Chain A
Amino acid sequence: MVQLSRRHLLFAAGAAAVVSMAGCGDDDADNKDLADNRVGAMDKYGVGDQFKATSAVSFSMLYNNHPNYPFKDDWLFWSELLKRTGVKIEPVAVPLSDYEQKRSVLIGAGDAPFIIPKTYHPQEDAYVSSGAILPVSDYLDLMPHFKDRIEKWNLQPEIDSLRQEDGKFYLLPGLHEKPWQDYTLAVRMDILEELKIAVPTTWDEVYDMLKAMKAAYPNVYPLSDRFGKPNPAGNLLNMLAVSHGLAGAGWAYQHTSWDANAKKFVYTGASDKYKAMLEFLHKLVDEKLLDPETFTQTDDQARQKLASGKSFVISANAQSIVNDYRPDMAKSLPNARMAKIPFPIGPVGPINPASRLENGVMISKKARDSKNFVAMMQFIDWLWYSDAGQEFARWGVEGTTYTKDSSGKRTLTPDVDVLGLNPKGTKHLQKDFGFYNGIFAYGGHLELVQSFFSAEEMEFQKVLNERPNVTVAPPHPLSDTEREQVTLWETPLKDYVYQNTLKFILGQRPLGEWDAYVTELNGKNMGSYVDVVNKAYDRYQQKHG
């Protein structure tokens, strides 16, 4: 008995020691003290400076492998990066198809590389409470280019929308000077000419155009859409939602939308604006202007209908026009011409609905203890947020992959092709050199972002750039318990909204039953959800003004 109790005592003492050690990780103190982490960092590093590590450094990075330009370690990108910055990247390759899952496993197992790019907000929310990623907002002093851009381009409201409950944000987003709206509707321009209709600018004009098309071609559904998997009519619903002043629907469904007049959040799927959207779509289906199969067909089926002349209007972005529709129709409809129409204007008036934030970079908490931490932050700042870094990531090396004339206009060297801009080129900017890689090159100055755009895309963007930006919702970060609670409600709510969206549009459920539908949503905790969000908004306002 004596032995047992002594062993018990020893065990208890050991446990107490471990517990007190665990409590000993005081984060706030070592926030400020970076003296041990400056190996390789530049002493003076400011806006306009080229980052060059003062000693050889290497950083591990999660590499999202895109099947169109698979990773090659002999890319000019890597060697030139080493030359300019002294940094060697050690990539952990992950196929694009399952990037999010591998990222979750690595972070959960504590094995994540230091730099974790291609993170779309709000994906970083899940990792905040585990403490596995760094609150980057504490280290902005190490990133002069990032701070400069936020100031110059007035991105403070957008950055605030990334803040968590503790007032810090955990993601370094891609920053755009001007929002880049890519998706819209594309229309058979030759049919418009034939029927002598002007290019529509508002949703009402779109309706008129579809009616005129139907009158001339009664056996055709003029609009048969794609992007329906896994969210039916993903793009079409989203376009209508933002035109009506909602945060997003379809493939970008946001449960709550900010009502600037009432100064609170409302539930998107139950709002009057959503009802107006559904009424519009129901009208289209009723008058046989919108193909009901839009909501269930695959992209390939929609493309086939367009290519065989069984539809005239479809959702598009710049790439799909060049890579999908024009080649699809080259043989079957040689006289057809597809082009994007300006983003249709809805009840809120002309807006550019895109966000100015992009996918971004998370930093693993373990990087904070590395002796090269400061050098790493400066490196990230240079590559992703400086003019020189972004130009390098997108265009490559002057003289080898591009040339610059006296006015600063860049052109690809004749042998280099990207996005079909130089079809006779034998080398590909992405595949052979590793530039314009989706991990490194996005965001930035308007002229840089648009530097690969075709002439017609520039026309489209010119119209959109003249429109005001969409208002950003104020921050409303949830606590961990709230987030867990809300996650339990989200899926049934979203499923129910989607099911009924389809039923209302297709006429399977009369729109007169709207109030009954709202009551049913309330029964699924919609009211509680909105309350939680509004409380979070009030709480944040009180704490951080």
Chain B
Amino acid sequence: MVTLDTSTPAPATNRRHGPHTSRGYRIFRVVNAVVLTGVVLVTLYPFVNIVARSLSDNASIVSGEVNLIPRGFNVAAYKAVMADPMFWTNYRNTLVYTAVATAVSLVLTTCYAYVLSKKHLKGRTALVGIAVFTMFFSGGLIPNYILVTSLGLKNTVWAIALPNAISVFNLLVMKAFFESLPVELEEAAAVDGLNTYGILLRIVLPLSKAVVATMFLFYAVSFWNSWFAAFLYMDRMDLFPVTVYLRNLIAGATDATSTGGGLGSASDVVQSAATIQSVTIVLTVLPILAVYPFIQRYFVSGVMLGAVKG
């Protein structure tokens, strides 16, 4: 309850003396804006450069004329890459692998996190310990390969979706979130006759939209970009995702000249046109770039999830 003291100065002049209008703060705002604009430009420059290169002709790129604006504008490289059926096969693979792997990961992580969030679970410490242990130690490349192969997962989508389906970091974040939900809600639901699965599906999950969306984003981006699991467990080119296709195009070009001692084997020297490389990069990154602005509000709030809740 505030009593107005009419002897104080009129409210209209309050604005000039508040914490957000001091001179120091205004200077901060200006410097802040300048620094952030600088960061944005530095971050944006490589993207704009790559897009410009993909629309330029090869000679201009090599003579260093292409910076932000395409020179010798042509879409020939786009046509060349999109005419390659293997590119589309691999692109379709990326979509399928990302979809399946993200779905599997989300289901498994949610279940494990929900279970771990229940303090009355017997052996809870052991289960958490097992998960955290895998964050620091792993079997190594060859034992993992032998495991996956002997389970018959080689050359299937499950070789990508199942190993590393649960990221322990994401697991712990989700667990912390579930722990923060008031236990009274679940008790009330149980009184009303819901069993465990009902509580999970009808009470807890609808409340966890933010964290599930965040995890969806983390997993989807990570599976979209992953190439190593596919490279390791797939034997046929038509099973590779587009990231392996891209990697072969780019990394194969720079490595081939310096391996093999250099003396001889000229037929191995690879120099993919800079335009082809740029086009493949743009096409691989495009979907994620397109989706991000719509989900980024979840991403921003999601990073803070699991931190101390008020």
Measuring CB to CB, which residues of chain A are less than 8 angstroms from any residue of chain B?
Answer: 65-68, 70-71, 92-98, 100, 102, 105, 108-111, 120, 176, 179-183, 227, 229-231, 234-235, 238, 248, 250-252, 299-301, 303-304, 307-308, 317-320, 323-324, 327-328, 330-332, 353-355, 358-359, 436, 438, 441-442
Contact = CB atoms under 8 A, between A and B. Distances in A.
Contacts of A96: 248, 252, 255-256, 270
B46 interface: no
Nearest to A113: B235
B248 A235 contact: no
A216 B72 CA distance: 33
Of A96, A111, A252, A331, most B-chain CB atoms within 10 Å: A96
B269 A320 contact: yes
Contacts of B257: 227, 299
A436 B268 CA distance: 11
A105 to B, nearest CB: 5
B272 A68 contact: yes
Given A179-B264, A359-B260, 18 more contacts: A70-B237, A95-B240, A95-B252, A102-B231, A105-B145, A109-B145, A120-B261, A181-B264, A182-B263, A227-B257, A299-B254, A301-B64, A319-B266, A319-B269, A323-B271, A328-B62, A353-B263, A355-B261
9 contacts: A68-B272, A70-B237, A105-B142, A183-B262, A235-B262, A251-B261, A307-B62, A331-B59, A355-B263
B261 A229 contact: no
Given A65-B248, A96-B248, A358-B264, A304 B258 contact: no
Of A109, A353, A442, most B-chain CB atoms within 10 Å: A109
A181 B263 contact: yes
A71 B251 contact: no
A102 B235 CA distance: 10
Contact of A332 (B63, B244, B247, B254): B63
B263 A67 contact: no
Given A93-B237, A111-B149, A227-B258, A70 B263 contact: no
A64 to B, nearest CB: 9
A310 to B, nearest CB: 10
B103 to A, nearest CB: 27
Q: Which 3 pairs from chain A and chain B are nearest by CB?
A: A97-B251, A95-B248, A97-B252
A182 B272 contact: no
B3 interface: no
A199 B259 CA distance: 30
B58 interface: yes
Interface in B218-271: 231-232, 235-237, 240, 244, 247-271
B155 to A, nearest CB: 10
Contacts of B86: 70
B59 A93 contact: no
B261 A67 contact: no
Contacts of A230: 258
Given A66-B270, A307-B63, A359-B265, A95 B244 contact: yes
B141 interface: yes
B146 interface: yes
Interface residues of B, number: 46
A176 B141 CA distance: 37
Of A182, A327, A353, most B-chain CB atoms within 10 Å: A182
A30 B231 CA distance: 37
B57 to A, nearest CB: 9
A97 B255 contact: yes
A67 B250 CA distance: 9
Given A66-B270, A324-B271, A182 B231 contact: no
A169 B263 CA distance: 22
A317 B257 CA distance: 10
Contact of B263 (A93, A252, A301): A252
B261 A109 contact: no
A358 B262 CA distance: 11
Given A65-B248, A319-B269, A331-B59, A238 B237 contact: no
Contact of A252 (B252, B262, B265, B272): B262
A442 B262 contact: no
Contacts of A71: 237
Nearest to B276: A67
Given A235-B262, A355-B263, A438 B268 contact: yes
Contacts of B272: 67-68
A327 B59 contact: yes
Contacts of B256: 96
Interface in B75-97: 86
Contacts of B240: 95
A229 B258 contact: yes
B264 A93 contact: no
Given A67-B248, A96-B248, A317-B269, A248 B261 contact: yes
B284 to A, nearest CB: 15
Interface string B111-136: 00000000000000000000000000
Contacts of A68: 270, 272
Given A67-B272, A70-B237, A438-B267, A229 B262 contact: no
A78 B104 CA distance: 39
Interface in B41-66: 58-60, 62-64
A484 B59 CA distance: 47
B64 A304 contact: yes
A318 B60 CA distance: 22
